[in-house]
Amino acid sequence: MDLVRDCLDKQLVDRRGRKMGRVDGIVLAWEPGAQPRVVGIEVGAVTQAARLHPRLGAWLARFVRRRGRAQADPYRIPWAKVTPTGNDVTVGVEAERTPALAWERWLREHVIGRIPGA
């Protein structure tokens, strides 16, 4: 498998088929001298920002930490739950309960859901 071609930037779909963001980052880790392995994928604005410019990423990470949301952004999904399926990536979680949809939930409750006809 080619990690960039077959996994990075792909659509994330939860186990019920709901879209939950894209693979914004892939994390490799290794013990000294050992073979590197993929430990997980990341979703979120902090990971995206780091790809645009390291300083932007660092700044956004600080901002998120100060707001006490470092656990939610970036949201890291362990590799054990990830299955690349061709042009998409399926994740064995319930999207609605994850931080990947935190913004979506907040907007639904506080903005869009309050407009008549929503």
Binding site for other proteins (CB under 8 A): 1-5, 8-12, 18-22, 24-32, 35-39, 42, 47-48, 50-52, 79-80, 86-87, 103-105, 107-108, 111-113, 115, 117-118
| Longest Cα–Cα distance in the chain | 60
Of residues 27 and 72, the one with the C-beta less far from other proteins: 27
In angstroms, the CA 10 to CA 41 distance is 11
Please report how close the Cβ of residue 5 comes to other proteins at its closest, in angstroms: 5
**What CA dihedral angle connects 100, 40, 25 and 93, to 10 degrees?**
-20
Residue 115 CB, nearest distance to other proteins (Å)? 7
**Residue 40: enclosing H or E segment and its boundaries?**
strand 37-43
Query: How far apart are CB 67 and other proteins at their closest, in Å?
Result: 19
